[in-house]
Structure 1
Amino acid sequence: MTGFAVIVERGSDGGYGAWSPDLPGCVAAADSYDECVALMREAIPLHLESLRRHGDPVPEPSTVGVLTIDAA
């Protein structure tokens, strides 16, 4: 798997929040799932650009797979 994993969660208010385990501080929030994902697609390149501009290390994606497991 290449690229950064993004976790999207539904909030108690019905909105959505997203974050990436490899990119602390890179987050998005929106009223809909699709909007939240779109915002993360914009946020990740901006976050990486900011890291480079400030001379901070740019992490390599560490995710090797994504699973969703239904609770029984």
Structure 2
Amino acid sequence: MKFRVIIEMDEDGIFVAECPSLPGCISQGKTRAEALENIKDAAKGYLESLKKHNEPIPPSIYEETVEISA
């Protein structure tokens, strides 16, 4: 499954990762790579909890990147 993840650096230099499709699924790390790995673990746990409680799982996203000449 694929989910959109937003990674931003906070005022203390910590990278905060959030998965908007999974409300409240947020993690962090000292580096972008660490934040990304941590949000993957958080999302996996979130999805396992949804399954355990027979809650619906949000669908995967499909994104495309387009290049526009100016």
Fold match by TM threshold 0.5: yes
TM-score, normalized by length of structure 1?
Answer: 0.77
TM-score, normalized by length of structure 2?
Answer: 0.79
SS where residue 28 of structure 1 aligns?
A: strand
Runs of 4+ in 1 over 6 A off after TM superposition: none
Structure 2: tracts of 5 or more residues without a match: none
% identity of equivalent residues:
32
CA distance in structure 1 between the partners assigned to 2:64 and 2:55 by the alignment: 26
Q: Which has the larger radius of gyration?
A: 2
Q: Aligned residues, how many? A: 66
What do you get for the CA RMSD once the two structures are aligned? 1.9
Q: Indicate the residue corresponding to 2:16 in structure 1.
A: 17
Structure 1: tracts of 5 or more residues without a match: 68-72
